[in-house]
Amino acid sequence: MGFVHQAISALRIILNPSIRKSSINPQSSFNESTIVAALLSITLAACGSDGSPGPSGPSPQPPASSDTLRAAASAQGRLLGTAVQSSFLSNGQYDAVAGREFSYLTAEYEMKWNSLEPSPGADTFGAGDAIVAYAMSRGQRVKGHTLVWHGSTPSWLNSLPQAEFRNAFERHIRTVMGHYQGRIHAWDVVNEAIADDGSGLRDTVYRQKLGDTYIADAFRLARAADPQARLFYNDYGGEGMSAKAGRIYDLVSDLISKGVPIDGVGLQMHVSANNRPSDDSIAANMRRLAGLGLTIHISEMDVRIAGLPGTEQMRLDAQKAAFHDIVRVCVLEPRCEAITFWGFTDAHTWLTGDTPLLFNQQYAAKPAYTGVLDALRGK
């Protein structure tokens, strides 16, 4: 039983009038208010820095070494994540880093609709199950990514008439979340629904077939399918205070005002070391979202450097500074719960032709790794 449960159970005893009189020695220096204060401090210590409960799910096993990103993040009450692919987990070098440095795994593509249901009704959970099993065996949590995204729509869906489209949409969310129920810390329920210029919703097949309410529909279906999972809206280009960020804020504010169950926003953070939102702009945007009571995740971070002028060392130093400064913004925002990198080795990145991650192609830590570790340690 964790600290929080012990403290709450003890509080119930102390505050229960029928028990209270007999169980506390009036002469003791530990009078009732002292005990309550102590228990409350224990409870808060077990929660995030702002007193919000720490991430739900299995408590992570203590890492073998305290000198890891995972340990440093845990000391800050943060989850530290990476995108993974199931086929890489059997590679010794990949497994060693993925299992040691991270507490939070996201399936880079194997839990998306086109991977899970390549043909109608043909649910293929094997790869996603392998990632979840790997995470559970290492005391890591899992981010479900992503239920509704125009970038991973199965080809057979697009031609369905509206009624059949809606049936497939509802079946997908219920079936996938039902399959993973209780094993997913948070789901990216809807991904990238806002137009890049912030003018409004993208004109995706979901909007065309289901109307603008498809986003609210997805979140309501998700909450019903797995009440334990945190439900996120995830997007790129809205990390700092931009037009798109403003539109994302308006979207989630509207959802909240209508009682739609949403718990957080994922800021993808695909940035370039020399072209990115400022730290202050990211902090202001996070603060604005936190003001809605939402949890924030940096959900897909990588830092491009291929186009930077100068020497390779200068590029690596600029990358280190960008990782450090952005991670520090999250550490300083109490409601920024998790930082996930979109992969961890340059050997496997969607950004072919660049080296945007923390480890090089030979799995050696780059200066960016030290930048992240320093930021997590408050340096």
Structure tokens at 132: 């979840």
How are beta strands 230-235 and 141-148 bridged, if at all? unpaired
* Residues within window 137-166 making contact with ligand G3I, judged by CB under 6 A: 151-152
DSSP string, 12-29: HHHH-HHHHHHHS-TTSS
* Residues within window 238-267 making contact with ligand G3I, judged by CB under 6 A: none
CB-nearer residue toward ligand G3I: 3 or 88? 88
Which of the 8 DSSP states describes residue 106?
Answer: E
Give the CA count within 13 Å in the CB-facing half-sphere of 314.
6
Mark residues 22-51: x for contact with ligand G3I by CB under 6 A, - for none. ------------------------------
- The residue type of 43 is T
Q: Active-site residue among 101, 108, 110, 300?
A: 300
Give catalytic status of residue 192 as yes or no: yes
Q: Active-site residue among 192, 239, 333, 337?
A: 192
DSSP H helices, the chain, are: 3-15, 17-23, 32-45, 69-75, 92-101, 113-116, 126-137, 162-179, 205-210, 214-225, 243-257, 279-290, 312-332, 367-376
Residue with tokens 């695909």: 270
Q: Give CA–CA dist 369/95, Å, rounded.
A: 17
Rounded to a whole number of angstroms, the minimum distance from the CB of residue 349 to ligand G3I is 8
Please, what's the largest Cα pairwise distance for the chain? 77
Considering the rule CB under 6 A, would residue 126 count as an interface residue with ligand G3I?
Answer: no
Considering the rule CB under 6 A, would residue 118 count as an interface residue with ligand G3I?
Answer: no
Q: Give CA–CA dist 244/58, Å, rounded.
A: 35
Considering the rule CB under 6 A, would residue 109 count as an interface residue with ligand G3I?
Answer: yes
Considering the rule CB under 6 A, would residue 350 count as an interface residue with ligand G3I?
Answer: yes
Q: Which of 55, 57, 80, 112 binds ligand G3I (CB under 6 A)?
A: 112
Give catalytic status of residue 300 as yes or no: yes
Q: Which of 217, 263, 300, 302 binds ligand G3I (CB under 6 A)?
A: 300
Q: Which of 57, 60, 68, 108 binds ligand G3I (CB under 6 A)?
A: 108
DSSP H helices, 51-181, are: 69-75, 92-101, 113-116, 126-137, 162-179
CB-nearer residue toward ligand G3I: 43 or 234? 234
Rounded to a whole number of angstroms, the minimum distance from the CB of residue 109 to ligand G3I is 4
Structure tokens at 220: 């309501």
Considering the rule CB under 6 A, would residue 268 count as an interface residue with ligand G3I?
Answer: yes
CA-angle at 83, arms to 176 and 57, nearest 5°:
60
* Residues within window 212-241 making contact with ligand G3I, judged by CB under 6 A: none
Number of residues counted as binding ligand G3I (CB under 6 A): 9
Helices 367-376 and 312-332: crossing angle, nearest 10°? Answer: 20
- Region for residue 31 given its phi and psi (left: phi exceeds 0; alpha: psi -120 to 50; beta: otherwise): beta
CB-nearer residue toward ligand G3I: 58 or 151? 151
Rounded to a whole number of angstroms, the minimum distance from the CB of residue 31 to ligand G3I is 55
Considering the rule CB under 6 A, would residue 88 count as an interface residue with ligand G3I?
Answer: no
The span of 13-21, 104-112, 286-294, 371-379 binding ligand G3I (CB under 6 A) equals 104-112
The span of 106-114, 159-167, 307-315, 354-362 binding ligand G3I (CB under 6 A) equals 106-114
Binding residues for ligand G3I, per CB under 6 A? Answer: 108-109, 112, 151-152, 191, 268, 300, 350
Active-site residue numbers?
192, 300
